[in-house]
A and B are shown apart, each in its own frame.
Chain A
Amino acid sequence: MSATPDLATDLAGVALPNPVLLASGTCGYGAELAPFIALEELGGIVAKSLTLEPRAGNVPPRITETPAGMLNAISLENIGVEAFIRDKLPSLPPSLAVVASVFETELDRYAEVCKRLDAVARVAALELNASCPHVKSGGIEFGQDPRVLAQLVRACRGATTKPLLVKLSPNVTSIAEMARVCEGEGADGLSLINAVQGLMVDVHRRRTALRNGLGGLSGPAILPIALRMVYQASRAVKIPICGIGGIASGEDAVAFLLCGASAVQVGTLTYTNPAAGIEVRDGIAAYCRSHGVARARDLVGALEAWPPG
């Protein structure tokens, strides 16, 4: 058995040196992490969601800690797609796979952002944020209604020839149905899950902890929910899946691969440690070595059935 496991993989046609990307909204535009880590050691990054125009976020408080997790309502504050292309992309290491995340409030605007990014060679793939759980107009509606989700994927599919991932909301009854809708409309892959809708209360002040009220729950607290949804979605579709949700270690990432994910995204843990993604990559390699796995991609969907009881 090789001492150095092969971590290379392919996500919806994008070749990656390893299966660990950083999740949108947790790694800025990449440059914010450059003082701490060598970005090119990652499988890739999914940059912060972009809208047509710059967008300011919610009035604070925007975040609060929860058991083994956190709740946020940032509301997709971003610099806008043109500033990203002009100011942020050129500084990133050439070998780093950059996925652009797209968010908007109307179908035609979603498609317009996709069109702008489609023209940029440096962008490896697009990820539609159909699932942000705390924006009043947009986000949740797109990802929660299968007919609206189908319209969204169709509109964006028509606007780009780049690999198109759809990031799914967990706040739905049937994740398998949503996965099939995306596959049916020509999505090249799925990313799941986005944050789980939640609420925290400051009982002393008798107020919601966040000014926005509702927020998105992330971190290790949501890992079992995410594994369940990746497991179900991977059995419903043939397109590849990028698993997301509370990944804090190589073993967490391997659990997603076994459930059918081709790659993973590390999100909230980057807040606690800018090198979390690289440590997860090293943890996958360590798992492969100790279990005699030559290629990490051999773990994808390799969950074994229990023998009959």
Chain B
Amino acid sequence: MKRAPGTVSGRVLGRVLESGPTRLVLEVPGWPGHRPGQFAMLGLTPELVHRDPLLPRPMAVYRGNASALEFRFKVVGRGTRIMAELAPGAVVSVLGPLGNGFAPPDGPATLVGGGSGIASLYELAEARSPGLRVLLGGRSRADILGLEDFEKLGVDLRLATDDGSLGERGFVTDLLAPRAGETVYACGPLGMMQRAHALAGEAGARCVVSLENNMACGFGVCLGCVVKTPAGFRYVCTHGPVFESGTLGWGAAT
């Protein structure tokens, strides 16, 4: 059955085309398309009888088309280490696209990406909407995922690193000066997103953030990925991962 882009397609087995310490490219037959900021659950051990590690990993689609999907990530634990070491031809299960994703800007916009959160923003940048600014940051140069791709876009791109190895020394939010009426799209560490939320609020700009969390399923049945908000628990997988920043509580359990 043919489905509209961005609707749930189901789980298919993909094959690894390329892999590396920050990059995984999968051939995914029948991928139905997706919106920027949607994610997939990548099952790394679908052929192993005892399924260890058991759980698939939620990964933002960095970019993709009808046959190949690219993911960008940093090795932070067992699952991402396995991802980095997958050999070409290895089988990975892919469930998606999942989550709401970003609505593309209908006016001026600033993208604020920190560390692995940058991966969620590339396709928004690629659309090169009028008045777009892109701010990327990380601890050092190596943390700016996809830098070469962003540079090729010819967008208004500004960079910051904690150690000054690329761009300004400091936080990416030091570069953020929201324009009244624009939309700030933020994805990165919670502190970064909270700062973007505050600055946008002061400037009369809208702010949307994309959250990440541990998930077992990615489609709303494990209830493991909740965030606490003033209106109660919300599920990152099905209510998000993109939220209006003003709907979040920004407390310890966000």
Q: Are B233 and A63 neighbours in the complex by a CB distance under 8 Å?
A: no
Query: A66 — nearest CB in chain B belongs to which residue?
Result: B54
Query: Looking at the complex, which one of A57, A77, A249, A271 makes contact with B216 (CB distance below 8 Å)?
Result: A271
Q: Are A72 and B221 neighbours in the complex by a CB distance under 8 Å?
A: no
Query: Looking at the complex, which one of B7, B95, B253 makes contact with A59 (CB distance below 8 Å)?
Result: B253
| Residue interface mask B211-237, A partner, CB < 8 A = 1 | 001111101111111111000110000
Chain A residues whose CB sits within 8 angstroms of the CB of B216 once the complex forms: 63, 70, 72, 268, 271-272
| Residue A302 at the chain B interface, CB threshold 8 Å | no
| Residue interface mask A71-115, B partner, CB < 8 A = 1 | 010100100000000000000000000000000000000000000
Chain A residues whose CB sits within 8 angstroms of the CB of B43 once the complex forms: 272-273
Q: Are B217 and A270 neighbours in the complex by a CB distance under 8 Å?
A: yes
| Residue B50 at the chain A interface, CB threshold 8 Å | yes
Q: Are A57 and B51 neighbours in the complex by a CB distance under 8 Å?
A: no
| Residue A275 at the chain B interface, CB threshold 8 Å | yes
Q: Are A32 and B219 neighbours in the complex by a CB distance under 8 Å?
A: yes
| Residue A213 at the chain B interface, CB threshold 8 Å | no
A68-B51, A220-B54, A248-B49 given; A273·B222 CB < 8 A: no
Chain B residues whose CB sits within 8 angstroms of the CB of A74 once the complex forms: 222-224
| Residue B11 at the chain A interface, CB threshold 8 Å | yes
Chain B residues whose CB sits within 8 angstroms of the CB of A249 once the complex forms: 49
Q: Are B221 and A271 neighbours in the complex by a CB distance under 8 Å?
A: yes
Q: Are B222 and A72 neighbours in the complex by a CB distance under 8 Å?
A: yes
| Residue A69 at the chain B interface, CB threshold 8 Å | yes
Number of B interface residues at 8 Å Cβ cutoff, please give it: 34
Size category of the A interface is: 35 or more
| Residue B188 at the chain A interface, CB threshold 8 Å | no
How many Å from the CB of B208 to the closest CB on chain A?
21
Supplied contacts A32-B221, A60-B225, A274-B95, 19 more A-B pairs, CB within 8 Å:
A28-B220, A32-B220, A36-B11, A36-B95, A57-B223, A57-B226, A57-B233, A60-B226, A62-B224, A65-B54, A65-B214, A68-B51, A70-B55, A220-B54, A248-B49, A271-B216, A272-B217, A274-B11, A274-B219
Binding site for A on B (CB under 8 A): 7-8, 10-11, 43, 46, 49-56, 93, 95, 213-217, 219-228, 232-233, 253
Binding site for B on A (CB under 8 A): 26-28, 32-33, 35-36, 56-57, 59-65, 67-70, 72, 74, 77, 219-220, 248-249, 268-275
